[in-house]
A = this chain, B = another copy of it.
Amino acid sequence: MNQVYIQPNEWSILEEGFDAEMVKSSESLFSIGNGAMGQRANFEEEYTGPTFQGSYIAGVYYPDKTRVGWWKNGYPEYFAKVLNAPNWIGINVLINDEKLDLHTCKEVLNFKRELNMQEGWLSRSFEAVLQNDIKIKVDTKRFLSLDLDEIGAINYSITPLSNDVNITYIPYLDAGITNEDTNWDDQFWDVLQVSQDNHQSFIEARTMKTHFYTCTFMESKIFIGPNEIITNCVNEQSNNYTANKYQQEIKKDQTYSIHKFGGYVVDRNHHKDELVAAAKTALDKAVSLGFDALLAKQKEAWAKIWSMSDITIEGDVKAQQGIRFNIFQLNQTYLGTDASLNIGPKGFTGEKYGGSTYWDTEAYCIPFYMATKDQSVARTLLEYRYNHLEKAIENAEKLGFKNGAALYPMVTMNGEECHNEWEITFEEIHRNGAIAFAIYNYHRFTEDYTYIPEKGLEVLIGIARFWHQRVNFSTDKDKFVMLGVTGPNEYENNINNNFYTNYIAKWCIEYALENIDIVKNDHISDYIRIKEKVNITDEELASWKNVADNMYFPFSEKHNVYLQQDGFLDKELITVADLDQSQRPINQKWSWDRILRSPYIKQADTLQGFYMFEDHFSTEELERHFDFYEPFTVHESSLSPCVHSIQAAKLDRMEQAYTFYLRTSRLDLDDYNHEVEEGLHITSMAGTWMSIVEGFGGMRVVDNSLSFSPKIPKGWDSYSFKVNFRQQVITVNVSQKGTQFELEGTKEINILVNGEQVTVSPK
């Protein structure tokens, strides 16, 4: 465990005491978001110490010119960057003309920060002794409204403790921001207009190249004690900045507060010429409600989210805090209301990775959103890929594929690939399989078949075509082989016959064939439309089938396991346990060739296949493969521990399952990988949810009904979670004594518990 400064608490993330070393980590951990925007937990007042300023708007990105050592044909021309947006949270503070700055003041006392996950707000309080020896107390609270998702609100209060003082609040908007993560130190924003109107301020700005129009706005209210005061303010303005100055003599122990309302309106939701008007409307609504009423609505909105998605754990406060942090961050990142958005791997907490959408969405996030939201949310995520099908076909064409073959990008914002390492961009193609699998998973869970004839089948056909062309026939092996791929284990590049990739390719083709048949028989008008559009013939389908029937899978008779790839047994098979600990993490200690030559596995690869296609393999087979591969797995991807936790639980290895669970659920809180300051690992948080629900709870969908095999870690008294299964919500409560199921709704439901049929009636 690498950091321990976060205080254990069931509902909050708490920091006590000010440590400048931890500022950037805390800025990540205390990030807030509302699906439409989000920001790192930067201080409102100026801070001249090391900080990573970040405020982000969903869907607003920039195509940064690609930086690459050696260009290869087919590389994308840009790398989409999550874009640091104009800062609206800033409030500079002067105390008798001295700027409040925790980096330069004489002393910071009683510093506390709380991210209240139950109610969805961030607060901070401290006492500061300034260079002028004045001592003040500061209390702030901030949230991004779920109700008015263009609005954020701040309550910033100062109480002089030592003297009567003159306090100046300077709330401002600043569009002179840059990205931490730029390739060429470019400016990304054109500021179009800075304006003020009746105490409201606006900066209209447009992203360069992508031309997203935005308006950043603010309005402030001033209070002494509980009473709003009407005060004159002085305006300051430049070509990318606007500020107001509110100056006031404040007596010792009196509290001087500013309520600042701000946020963004964007042209995804409004006409670009009406952004200032839209901003006024949003501001007027927020200001007329006022900070406290808006906060009350925030608590209600979060209560509603928690009522469906909360997981409780009794008897292990760190585990409880961990799972809630994961669920909270997922909900801060993506709420499923906009089909053009997706779940970025860093959410609104940082800029690393760029792009927004990885295969993480399909492989890890969809189960969480299916089970904790209305099923329309998962369907929206599927449609995101349907909407990108043409781009995926273009992407495949760039790589030489034909006839409507689709290769979905490794990383994307708008359907175009924006990643450029050849071994990933061109070779980590298993991502295509996850996109097909998500369609299957959605249908399995929701029983909603309509998506497939309406949209999904076209995606399945494009993907099947890709696999069909991507293999070649090996006369040597008398089988179809797949050369030159990178599997989920990115510590192998350009390998041949990766078991997982070959397996999912075969499955994709078979699943596409199966659904072509169903649609042909049961959705004839859709079938005619699709057949005309994509021009499938019986010969083509026969050729697909030939590939699926004759796919090669490397297998070791000696070890009785499928091999992760051709030649795996040539490696020096020293387990992780026998590896010198000083060499870890190997991705920070070893050169790339050494990693590639080694047997070490970054994340579940063969075992990822056993997870996704669990019912294709016996438990004995799983055990054999788990015992063969896990000892070589270094889990240096955030997506690794959750799959292993689920499989360990299935194999009744609860201690190991629990260890993996802790690692996934507290990855960021405890900063296992020494990088939390760059932002949080949002998508792997859905894997944490799976570790409890699918791992400990053993939830599956079997023969069209929910099935559970509940287990519980030794140290827990009990845990509970809810699942929204086909419009019915079932609560599962597992304790050391047994499992209880509760059902909301009106009709009873049949489930399987440890293989036995059980009927649950509404409570």
Contact = CB atoms under 8 A, between A and B. Distances in A.
Interface in A460-482: 472-477, 481
Given A494-B494, A572-B473, A597-B483, A73 B426 contact: no
Interface in A558-574: 566-567, 569-573
A473 B571 CA distance: 8
A586 to B, nearest CB: 9
A528 interface: no
A567 B422 contact: no
A738 interface: no
A182 to B, nearest CB: 13
Contacts of A426: 591-594
A67 interface: yes
Interface in A433-476: 472-476
Report copies per complex: 2
Contacts of A617: none
Which 3 A/B pairs are nearest by Cβ-Cβ distance? A74-B591, A426-B593, A476-B569
Given A494-B494, A570-B476, A571-B483, A594 B420 contact: no
Nearest to A481: B570
A129 interface: no
A702 interface: no
A477 B568 CA distance: 11
28 contacts: A66-B69, A67-B67, A67-B68, A68-B68, A73-B587, A73-B588, A73-B589, A73-B591, A73-B592, A74-B591, A399-B591, A399-B593, A422-B591, A422-B592, A422-B593, A426-B592, A472-B571, A472-B572, A472-B597, A474-B571, A476-B569, A476-B570, A477-B570, A481-B570, A483-B596, A493-B493, A494-B495, A496-B570
A31 B401 CA distance: 43
Given A398-B591, A473-B572, A421 B566 contact: no
Nearest to A472: B572
A594 B399 contact: yes
A569 to B, nearest CB: 4
A398 B589 CA distance: 10
A398 to B, nearest CB: 7
Interface string A389-429: 00000000011100000000000000000001111001100
Interface string A61-99: 000001111101110000000000000000000000000
A481 B573 CA distance: 13
A595 to B, nearest CB: 9
A484 interface: yes
A590 interface: yes
Nearest to A74: B591
Interface in A577-624: 587-594, 596-597
Contacts of A569: 474-476
A511 to B, nearest CB: 24
Contact of A591 (B69, B400, B570, B592): B400
A73 to B, nearest CB: 5
Contacts of A588: 73
Given A474-B570, A494-B596, A570-B474, A591 B484 contact: no
A567 B570 contact: no
A588 B72 CA distance: 9
Contacts of A573: 475
A567 B420 contact: no
Contacts of A70: 421
A554 to B, nearest CB: 11
B592 A74 contact: yes
Contact of A421 (B69, B74, B474, B594): B69
Interface string A45-75: 0000000000000000000001111101110
Contacts of A494: 423, 493-495, 596
A398 B592 CA distance: 11
Contact of A594 (B400, B475, B476, B592): B400
A592 B493 contact: no
A421 to B, nearest CB: 5
Contacts of A590: 73, 400
Contacts of A592: 72-74, 422, 426
A762 to B, nearest CB: 53
Nearest to A596: B484
